[in-house]
Amino acid sequence: MLWAYLDFTQLTLDLSGSERASAPAAVYNEQENVIVQRCAEAAKQGIMPGMGLAQAAALCPDVTITVYVRDKEVEHLHSLAARLYQIASDIVVITPAALAIRLDNLCHYYGSVAATWKAIVSELAPMSVNFAYASSWSVECARVLAKANCNDIYTDKKAISAALKKCQISHLDLDHSQRSTLHRVGIFTLERLLSLSVSELGKRFNNQTIRYLTAVRGDAYPTYLLYRPAERFVRHKDVAYEIENTQHLLPYITALLEDLAVFLRLRNKVVSDLSINLYYRDQAATTVLVRSAVGLSNVKQWLDIASLQLENISLDAPVISLRLCADELQEHDAANQDFFQDRHQYFAQKQLMSRLQARLGDHNVIVPASGNDHRMERQTESGGNSAADTRSQWLPAIRLVAPAPLTTPCHITFGPVRLQTGWWDEKAVKRDYFIAKTQSGEFIQIFRNARQHWFIQGYYA
């Protein structure tokens, strides 16, 4: 076996494009208070990985700091893996920032190891990522060589052995105490380590470490979990005739939804977003997004929502084919089926929401919720939380978008309620609120601002 190891040393920097800029930039791990990546310009100023923020700031006051977010790197790594999956089969994703690719079985397609490696490098070129690399008989060994910045694709065992001997103990994937243990018996290089017999090492290190060391030596080959791209549902269907009426699309959509239901059932998944691409003969395709408030797999439920949505669409041209995509599969929540929980209402509400949104459009469906703020303008807002608040008892049923000057004569029946808050944002208020009754018997909510001007805020039902 021959594995290439690609160690993406500064994925966050590459992602932010800082490396290409001329200003010094560094990536900072907040949890551990260390600099973890830095660009060439920052390196010139003396910033090194492992430094604290204070030292880095003292060395280079102009440095731009990006906070390290592991998940972001992992996400980016997966996108790199997905890209490489087009040209290579056996890929191991080593989070947060490394990939291993088996080269020997690709020679059949590319002709040689060198050609395979060339293909990989050119595939990565547009991504503008920096990486250290090396190849060896195992992922573990290739990792050591890459960490040592060998940056060479070895095919010859002797060359690998020679390179390995030059590596330091610090390049091994051992924890700090194991490294320190080795250092403190004078074992600083792999040459020294590899010169010791396995039985002597076996007396002194645990099985896991010995297994790792044998993999580095190439005496054993661990199994690796290979990368598979995320699952998504995509089905294409040509229609029998050119369809001009959306209602006529429904049988085809039903067929596609049935396929989807099977696909989901096999995986015990549900989806909450679907996209339907409609293709025309001469025009660019259009995409209809269909959403449900809860994850679904049932054909009828999806069809109900999709048909409502399609009713609103007028076709500019006849449809010749269509495609159904479900990108993000969700786990089927078994708890939903709990016999003892009356979740019927919950689903009924969600389904109603889905239908309304499909019929009226997302922006036209507002869920009332009490905002967590004393200010009247923020007492109601659209959002998922519709919990009523006891304090809302004196709030008006209808609140004006913008307060209107009070011009009608009225007399005060309740108040004052004094609000002095919001100093931290642009909407600071200092008002006295009252409930007043107009001459026509209407109850209104009014307020007086700091300048003693009166306004109407809302009306009571």
Partner 1 sequence: MGASSPEEIVTTASFLGYRAVAITDECSVAGVVRAHAEIKLCRLPISLIVGSYFTFDDFSFVLLCPNKAAYSELCRIITQARRREEKGSYALSEWDITSLRYCFILWLPTGSKDKDGKWAQWLKRFHADRCWIAGQRLLDGEDHLRFKHYEMLFEKYAIPVAACTGVLMHHKDRLPLQHTLHAIREHTTVEALGRQAIANAERALRPVSKINKLYPTSWVNNTQQIAAQFSFSLDELKYQYPAELVPDGFTATSYLRYCVEEGIQRRFPEGLADSIRATIEKELTLIAEQEYEYFFLTLYDIVQFAKKQKILYQGRGSAANSVVCYCLEITAVDPRQINVLFERFISKERDEPPDIDVDFEHQRREEVIQYIYQKYGRERTALAATVIAYRFKSAFRQVGKALGFAESQLDFVIKKINRRDRTIPWQTQITQHGLDARSKKVKQLISLVEQIVGFPRHLSQHVGGFVISAGPLYELVPVENASMAERTVIQWDKDDLESLGLLKVDVLALGMLTAIRKTFDSLAAQYPVTPSIPFITRLGDDHQVFDMICKADTVGVFQIESRAQMTMLPRLKPRCYYDLVVQIAIVRPGPIQGDMVHPYLLRRHGKEAVSYPSTEVEQVLSRTMGVPIFQEQVIQLAMVAAGFTGGEADQLRRAMASWKKDGRIYEFKDKLISGMTAKGYSTAFAEQLFEQIKGFGGYGFPESHSASFAVLAYVSCWLKHYFPVEFYLGLLNSWPMGFYTPAQLIQDAKHHGITIRPVCINHSEIEHTLVLSQGEKVIQLGLCIVKGLSEHSASVLIQSRPEKGYESIAAIQQLGLPGNDIEALASANGFAMLTENRYAARWEIMDQQHTLPLFASESSQHEFPFRPSEADNLLEDYASTSVSLEQHPVSLLRKHRDLSRFIPASNLHCIENKGVVHVIGCVTGRQAPGTASGVTFITLEDETGNMNVVVWQATARQQQSAYLSATILQIDGILERSPEGVTHIIAGKLTDRSDWLSSLRIASRDFH
Should residue 417 be labelled a site residue for partner 1 when binding is judged by CB under 8 A? yes
- Tokens describing residue 293: 């408030």
Contact 172, 216 (CB under 8 A): yes
15: which 2 tokens?
Answer: 């992602």
In the complex, least distance from residue 393 CB atom to partner 1, rounded to whole angstroms: 9
Residue 48 CB, nearest approach to partner 1 (Å):
9
The answer to whether 184 contacts partner 1 (rule: CB under 8 A) is: yes
Report yes or no: 142 and 217 within 8 Å, Cβ to Cβ.
no
Give dist(CA 201, CA 178) in Å, integer: 12
Element (H, E) at 401: strand 398-405
Please give the residues from 430 up to 449 whose contact with partner 1 meets the rule CB under 8 A. Answer: 432-433
Residue found by looking up tokens 């004196």 in the block = 394
Site membership for partner 1, residue 335 (CB under 8 A): no
Which residues within the stretch 264-293 sit at the binding site for partner 1 (CB under 8 A)?
Answer: none
Contact map string, positions 10 to 39, toward partner 1, x by CB under 8 A = ------------------x-x---------
Taking the C-alpha atoms of residue 13 and residue 21, their distance in angstroms, rounded to an integer, is: 10
- Spatial contact of 4 and 131, defined as CB atoms under 8 Å apart: no
* Residue 414 near partner 1 by CB under 8 A: yes
Q: How many residues bind partner 1 (CB under 8 A)?
A: 45
Angle at 380 between CA 374 and CA 382, to 5 degrees: 135
**Contact flag: residue 174 with partner 1 (CB under 8 A):** no
Of residues 67 through 86, those in contact with partner 1 by CB under 8 A are 67
Q: Which member of 419, 437, 438, 454 binds partner 1 (CB under 8 A)? A: 419
**Nearer of residues 67 and 285 to partner 1, judged by Cβ:** 67
83-to-229, 378, 380 alpha-carbon distances in Å: 10, 46, 46
**Residue 55 C-beta: closest distance to partner 1, Å:** 6
Q: Which is nearer to partner 1, 94 or 187 (CB)?
A: 187
Of 260, 229, 255, 204, residue with least CA distance to 83? 229
Which residues touch 81 (CB under 8 Å, ≥6 apart)?
A: 91, 93, 99, 227
Nearest to partner 1 of 259, 373 (CB atom): 373
Per CB under 8 A, residues contacting partner 1 are 28, 30, 45-46, 53-55, 57-61, 65, 67, 181, 184-187, 192, 195-197, 200, 203-204, 371-374, 391, 394, 414, 416-421, 423-426, 432-433
